[in-house]
Amino acid sequence: MNTDSHALEPYALEPIGVPVPFHGVPSLAGGGRYLYGEALDPFSNPNSGGLFVFDTVADDVIAWLPDERHAQFRNVIVHEDSAMVAASDGSLLRYEPGATTLRPTGISLGDRLRASTRPDSSGIIYAVTTSQHDLVAIDPDGNVRSLGNAVAYSTSIALLPDQSAFIYVPDAHGGTANFGAPVIAVDTSTGVQTTLVELDQLARDGLGLVLGGSFNVTVDPTRRLAHIGLNAGPTQESPWGEVVQITVELDNQLADRPAANAAASSLEAATDTFGLTAPLTGIRGHAVAVADINADGWDDLFVGTFADRPPETYAVRGAQGPNPDRLLLGGPDGFRLDDTFPGRLARSAGAAFADLDGDGDLDVISASLGDDKVAWYSNTAGQFGPQQIITLNADLVESVEAADVDADGSLDVISVSALDDKVAWYQGNGAGSFGPEQIISTNPDYPVALTTADLDGDLDPDVITASTGDDTLAWFENETPFPDCNNNGVNDIVEIYEGDEEDCNGNLVPDSCELATGAALDCNGNGIPDECEIAAGVLRDCNGNGIPDECEIAAGTAPDCNGNGFVDSCEVAAGVETDCDGNGVLDSCELAAGIASDCNGNGILD
């Protein structure tokens, strides 16, 4: 991977300067002599618009196809002499030369198309959908083959030169650093996904920036380079404000990728190999959690045990009796016992790692079914404090998890307990304190397992349980109210992530709502908050008062006596103009208006 912006011969840029209808162009793709793109009015009616076709030989737009099925196509699939776009229902529509309408193809993806590759040598196109993140292969006959799911919402994919895989970077709207900003290769035959390289640490080390979202991936087959464009910012909470391009040298990164015809994966016992035999002696393992708790790049293990059996039960590998719960630290030579961890002789049935006190370190959460206890151990720079009890009221507690149930920005703890058939959660305050038990359900019969995931796509964690008394896998929808400033029934954050709403300042509130409520100003009425246009350099704010100069001049709140578009006071402050008598009027204007004299013509008021 090359991070030196001068090490590679630059590409030449040639502006085309083609006017297209409406001016908003969220997608553009080329094929042969034609460029295809979506055009829409991005402010007054973003769900209207259509497909335009530009002929590079004729140097003109030769087709404009508005379509009522249009719902922000967001991607154009290009064939040699035609193009396809996806309607709002996920079906594909085709444009052919000379056509005046888009015709159905009979192909449906079940979700809106978000990104696609060029066709490979067999005419197969690889694509990803918007909401479900489905990865698919579409053959020339219209057959759709599933290749699994992308890790997160992805806006761009690119086919590798040998066509064995395509690459993408997950999470296009602010969260890619949560995954390490990986460049992931998807095998075009098997769908197996392999991380080629993680980019976030590179940006942190080389640029002092945290990567926010990936918005474009392209591959140069001649020089075998992948160019990846990303948003970036100073912190993980605010990964915006900068644009970074990272170039990946594919030959270096692909060398270790498993071949498509490699042997199937297999598992083998590795307890001895990784040095786990001695630390696990005297352990009847019943709980495990995995994370890098000391940030050294190696996974660590918490192993919970049933330590209430007679001593002879543990007489294996030389053990004389039970040992307590263990924390095992990973490293290049395997695992070693952390003998400072305050493990207990308990019946630990479940465990998880999470930062419960907001200090940036992963703490341990444990479920001890012998005493119906949910507890946690605070981690401070790799050193764990004593056990802290969350509840003693979970009868035969089996499993625990952490998630932000109530969307207040702090992690909460969730548990399932078998004898009272209870799924419950405990509100965290982000500093290590927890509220009383709040019951989610007592319907599962003998629940023993628990996890969380956003199953309904509303950006909050739902709860999934497995119960043995009724042989049931169940889920419980998190009905915490979500932000919906425009009252359309869709989570504002979902609309921002999917591109249906703009959020130019990255505060997760749609621009349209901030403008409607007056929380953001738009003095020129173009639908873009003034602060964003100022930050982007589109508008000037020379006096730093948050109001664009052009608006102050138009409103008469800031003079521009010479009509050059610059506020007079700023020209004086910059030394471009003078105001020798300090009356707020440029000397040049007073002289031009004849209200001040300059008898010797030296430009200075007499």
Cα(444)–Cα(424) distance, rounded to whole angstroms?
12
Per-residue pLDDT of 33-52, as tens digits, reads: 778 877 766 555 656 677 78
What are the residue ranges of CATH 2.130.10.130 in the chain? Answer: 267-476
Q: Which CATH architecture has domain 24-249?
A: 7 Propeller (2.130)
Q: How far apart are CA 185 and CA 193, in angstroms?
A: 6
Residue 591 scores a pLDDT above 50: yes
Q: Are 37 and 77 in contact (CB under 8 A)?
A: no
User: Is the pLDDT assigned to residue 136 strictly greater than 70?
Assistant: yes
Q: Could you tell me the fold of the domain covering 267-476?
A: Methylamine Dehydrogenase; Chain H (2.130.10)
**DSSP per residue over 544-577, as a string?**
-SSS-HHHHHHHTSS--TT-SSS-HHHHHHTTSS
Average pLDDT value for residue range 232-257: 77
Grade residue 2 by pLDDT with cuts at 50, 70 and 90: very low
Q: How far apart are CA 441 and CA 455, in angstroms?
A: 18
Q: Are 108 and 142 in contact (CB under 8 A)?
A: no
Contacts of 534 (CB under 8 A, 6+ apart): 540, 541, 546, 548
pLDDT tens-digit map of 300-342: 999 999 998 888 888 888 888 999 999 999 998 889 999 999 9
pLDDT at 263 over 50: no
Distances, alpha carbon 25 to alpha carbons 112, 462, 554, 559, in Å: 17, 36, 30, 37
d(C-alpha 199, C-alpha 176), whole Å: 10
Q: Report the Cα–Cα distance between both ends of the chain, in Å, rounded.
A: 66
Q: Quick check: 402 pLDDT over 90?
A: yes
Tracing tokens 């199937």 back to the chain, one arrives at 264
| pLDDT score of 465 more than 80 | yes
Q: What pLDDT, in 10s, does the model give residues 479-521?
A: 887 778 888 877 777 777 777 888 888 888 888 888 888 888 8
Region 53-69: mean pLDDT is: 77
**pTM (2 decimals)?**
0.48
| SS3 category, 28 | strand
**Which DSSP state fits 535?**
H
Closest CA to 105 of 97, 94, 118, 90: 94
pLDDT beyond 60 at 71: no
Q: Of 344-358, 438-452, 569-583, where does mean pLDDT reach its minimum?
A: 569-583
Measured distance CA(578)–CA(316) in Å, rounded: 92
Residue span(s) of the chain under CATH 2.130.10.10 come to 24-249
Average pLDDT over all residues of the chain = 83
What's the rounded Cα separation, in Å, for the pair 284 and 282?
7
Token pair for residue 478? 């998190």
